[in-house]
Amino acid sequence: MITIKSQREIDLMRKAGHIVAMAHRRIEELIAPGITTRELDRAAEEVIRKLGGIPSFKGVPNPYGGIDFPASICASVNHEVIHGIPNDIPLKEGDIVSIDIGAIYEGYHGDAARTYEVGKVSPEAKRLIAVTRESFYKGIEMAREGMRIRDISRAIQQYVEQNGYSVVRDFVGHGIGREMHEEPQIPNFVTLERGPRLRKGMTLAIEPMVNEGRWEVDILSNKWTVVTKDGKLSAHYENTIVVTENEPEILTE
């Protein structure tokens, strides 16, 4: 069931979103060759807890029967798409790393992802990151009262494919609020379903996942980390938004 949030609930989600944004700001300060994703995880969790939040991801059950998620952030490097588990391998010059952060504040979630450059990256990697980010903004141009989920999906897919990339189809965006994942699902590609009409007070996590090559993905043996099947780069950009009477409001910037 799709829930319409009250002003009080939106205010709490705005606070959760602020915590997520501050954690991303800390990540941006620290990203450099030589740092490990485990160090980034510790830094993000410190920010989340200092600001009164709880990490959304830590301890989430594995849908495929593996271990519960062991960290506060997802850190996906190069060909890893989403759900990368932080580790002690130092990042190196030219890597790209997608960091997904979620925080709970007084029972409500905020969720946002960014793909960061590690030192100087290739022009191809830089362009992939830029197109992925811009595809999010193309999508939220359609996130207005009376439009449909499918309008968001179409805008994202068209922009990505016009630029020569592909959108991941096995994983999608989602509603968000008291739960990290609520209805409706928000594909980054057009499906046969038009999806519900958008209404003021709907809160959505819109998150294009864009591959340099083909859209197909695999899941590693840890039953969390999703990787591109062809081994090419992937980028991720996400924000939590609320549908308003006018333009959507981004809660995680």
The verdict on whether residue 174 carries a ligand-binding annotation is yes
N- to C-terminal Cα separation, the chain: 27
The verdict on whether residue 238 carries a ligand-binding annotation is yes
The verdict on whether residue 207 carries a ligand-binding annotation is yes
d(CA 82, CA 78): 10
The verdict on whether residue 236 carries a ligand-binding annotation is no
The verdict on whether residue 79 carries a ligand-binding annotation is no
Calculate ∠ Cα 160-227-152, nearest 5°: 30
The verdict on whether residue 88 carries a ligand-binding annotation is no
The verdict on whether residue 100 carries a ligand-binding annotation is yes
**Cα atoms in the Cβ-side hemisphere of radius 13 Å centred on 188:** 30
**Annotated binding residues for a divalent metal cation:** 100, 111, 174, 207, 238
**Annotated binding residues:** 83, 100, 111, 174, 181, 207, 238
**Annotated binding residues for substrate:** 83, 181
